[in-house]
Amino acid sequence: MAVARIAQQFVARAAYPSIAARSFSDVAANSELVLNLAVPHTTLVGNSEVKMVTVPGRDGVFAVEKSSPPIISELRPGLLRVDHLNGDVQEFFVPGGFVFNHAGNKCDVSVPEGVSLDDIDTERVRSELAAWTSKKAAAAAGSKQLAEADAALEVLTTLAKTVGVSV
């Protein structure tokens, strides 16, 4: 019975496409994109109106701006950029996380860590890369240590490329 009801609703909507169509650009068209960028211990950008946020999505880098359609995406390690309305730009390196863009021009980004590019010590990146490369070489195949080294090296390699450290 429920299948028949759903089919009837679909047919009714198809008969009146202008009523059934939903335009995300019409939702909160006059308000700016509001961004919340949070790590577990603090908020990096809180309830702030921004022009755009560019994130390293699992399938590639993409931007969310005013009137973008709703989306949920996993983030991979990479550069997260916030373009503020006044022209200021904030750039953070994130090791992963999630972005939730909601209808109504609200975007929530949750990451386990977010480090301003200005605060990254390139010499420490080099030394951590060397240390984790050694740990990986010493780890037994299929071990927890190997999995940890692989995960650390994925983040560190991406971080090195982001800040211009040759690997």
pLDDT in tens, the chain (167 residues): 455 555 555 555 555 444 444 444 444 455 899 999 999 999 999 999 999 999 999 999 999 999 999 999 999 999 999 999 999 999 999 999 999 999 999 999 999 999 999 999 999 999 999 999 999 999 999 999 999 999 999 999 999 999 999 87
Q: Please report whether residue 80 resides in a domain.
A: yes
144 with 80, same domain: the answer is no
Q: Can you give the C-alpha Rg of the chain in angstroms?
A: 21
> What is the chain's mean pLDDT, rounded?
87
Pairing status of strand 33-39 against strand 106-110 = parallel
Distance between CA atoms of 81 and 9, rounded to whole angstroms?
42
Number of domains the chain is built from: 2
Q: Please report whether residue 7 resides in a domain.
A: no
108 with 126, same domain: the answer is no
Angle, in degrees to the nearest 10, between helices 122-138 and 144-163: 150
Q: Please report whether residue 66 resides in a domain.
A: yes
Per-residue pLDDT at 12: 54
108 with 145, same domain: the answer is no
Per-residue pLDDT at 166: 86
8 Å CB contact between 99 and 107: yes
Task: Tell me the helix, strand and coil percentages in the chain, rounded to 5.
Answer: 35, 35, 30
Q: Please report whether residue 3 resides in a domain.
A: no
Distance between CA atoms of 57 and 76, rounded to whole angstroms?
6
Per-residue pLDDT at 76: 96
Host domain of residue 147: 120-163
Q: Please report whether residue 60 resides in a domain.
A: yes
